[in-house]
């Protein structure tokens, strides 16, 4: 009878030691989370209900910032521009990335070289990429208009034209899809070859194999890439800041660009904090809608439907 308490004590000591190691190991992450994520978020939530110019103490104004936002033409313009950018860049980038991944998954000569070429733009500095495209989009002497001129087509003013500025940035976004291509390549490599062999025996052609084998098996990967692309598109800032500064005529006034100008050029930090929280809610709602829709088009191999 005297042995049992000793065993229990030994077990409880080991459990306490493991718990202490657990908390010690997560402490750096926990400090970083509280100091660099949780506190700034809670602080910005508080500031969104205040009038704050960075120089004086915040003054509580309640919901006044949110009332101003919904009566602000710049807010609606920036929201429209950002949503249009997302509607153009995400589907187009997804289709192009998937198509290139399908090609690069084949046993072609020099395929590793081409995989590297397509991946490099996604790891370059976004500012450097923007400056590069600034020269490509130049109305006079720009690479794109020179190529169009070879075919007798007079190119538009691109970034200087109100009707072409946003499509230009959407076109530019399709160039930095290397990360998506790599993820699609990994997904394609994970599809069992036996499924294609079975489909071929059943007489399926290339399109049928893509439609009934590749797409269903790759749907979780597509879902992952689409969610990340939507979140990134709704937070786009750098290209609008470097290339157009929101112009011409606010045609490229992205939401984050409007937020930046309110916070750091007009010193309306409380108003900018309210803008940030509205964007957070918009991203959350759109992401949740995509997740809810995934039950209709995302196939998981272990699921029985």
pLDDT tops 60 at residue 8: no
What pTM was computed for the model?
0.89
**pLDDT score of 12:** 82
Residue 6 pLDDT: 52
Q: Is the pLDDT of residue 110 over 90?
A: no
Q: Where are the domains of the chain?
A: 3-47, 64-297
pLDDT of residue 1: 46
Place of tokens 């090609």: 103
The predicted pLDDT at position 109 comes to 87
- Per-residue pLDDT, averaged over 193-205, amounts to 91
Looking at 1.10.3720.10, 1.20.140.10, 1.20.58.1690, 2.30.30.90, the CATH number of the domain 64-297 comes to: 1.10.3720.10
Mean pLDDT of 266-276: 96
Q: How much is the average pLDDT of 154-175?
A: 93
Task: For residue 214, give the nearest of 187, 234, 237 by alpha carbon.
Answer: 187
- Per cent of the chain over pLDDT 90 is 76
Transcribe 23-45 into DSSP letters: HHHHHHHHHHHIIIIIHHHHHHH
Tell me what pLDDT residue 304 has: 47
pLDDT band at 14 (very low <50, low <70, confident <90, very high): confident
- Which range has the worst mean pLDDT, 43-47, 140-144, 233-237, 262-266? 140-144
| Residue of 4 and 108 predicted with greater confidence | 108
The pLDDT of residue 180: 95
What is the average pLDDT score of the chain? 91
Tens digit of pLDDT for each residue in 81-109?
A: 999 999 999 999 999 999 999 999 988 88
| pLDDT level of residue 4 (50, 70, 90 thresholds) | low
3-state secondary structure the chain: CCHHHHHHHHHHHHHHHHHHHHHHHHHHHHHHHHHHHHHHHHHHHHHCCEECCCCCCCEECCCHHHHHHCCCHHHHHHHHHHHHHHHHHHHHHHHHHHHHHHHHCCCCCCHHHHHHHHHHHHHCCHHHHHHHHHHHCCCCCCHHHHHHHHCCCCCCCHHHCCCCHHHHHHHHHCCCCHHHHHHHHHHHHCCCHHHHHHHHHCCCCHHHHHHHHHHHHHHHHHHHHHHHHHHHHHCCCHHHHHHHCCCCCCCCCCHHHHHHHHHHHCCCHHHHHHHHHHHHHHHHHHHHHHHHHHHHHCCCCCCCC
């Amino acid at each position: 009878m005297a042995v049992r308490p000793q065993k229990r004590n030994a077990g409880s000591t080991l459990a306490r030691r493991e718990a202490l190691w657990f908390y010690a190991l997560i402490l750096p992450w926990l400090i970083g989370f509280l100091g660099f994520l949780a506190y700034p978020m809670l602080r910005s939530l508080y500031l969104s209900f205040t009038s704050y110019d960075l120089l004086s103490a915040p003054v509580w104004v309640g919901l006044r910032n949110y009332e101003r936002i919904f009566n602000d033409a710049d807010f609606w313009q920036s929201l429209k521009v950002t949503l249009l950018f997302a509607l153009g860049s995400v589907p187009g980038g997804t289709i192009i990335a998937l198509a290139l991944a399908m090609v690069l998954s084949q046993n072609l000569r020099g395929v590793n070289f081409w995989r590297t070429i397509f991946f490099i733009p996604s790891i370059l500095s976004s500012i450097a990429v923007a400056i590069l495209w600034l020269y490509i989009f130049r109305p006079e002497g720009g690479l794109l208009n020179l190529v169009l001129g070879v075919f007798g087509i007079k190119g538009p003013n691109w970034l200087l034209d109100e009707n072409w500025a946003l499509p230009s940035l959407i076109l530019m976004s399709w160039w930095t899809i290397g990360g998506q291509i790599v993820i699609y390549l990994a997904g394609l490599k994970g599809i069992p070859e036996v499924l294609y062999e079975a489909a071929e025996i059943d007489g399926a052609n290339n399109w049928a194999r893509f439609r009934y084998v590749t797409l269903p098996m790759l749907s979780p990967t597509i879902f992952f890439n689409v969610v990340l692309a939507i979140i990134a598109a709704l937070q786009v800032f750098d290209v609008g800041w470097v290339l157009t500064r929101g112009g011409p005529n606010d045609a490229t006034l992205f939401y984050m660009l409007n937020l930046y100008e309110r916070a750091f050029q007009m010193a309306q930090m409380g108003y900018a904090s309210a803008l940030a929280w509205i964007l957070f809610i918009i991203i959350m709602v759109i992401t949740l809608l995509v997740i809810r829709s995934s039950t209709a088009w995302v196939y998981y191999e272990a699921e029985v439907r």
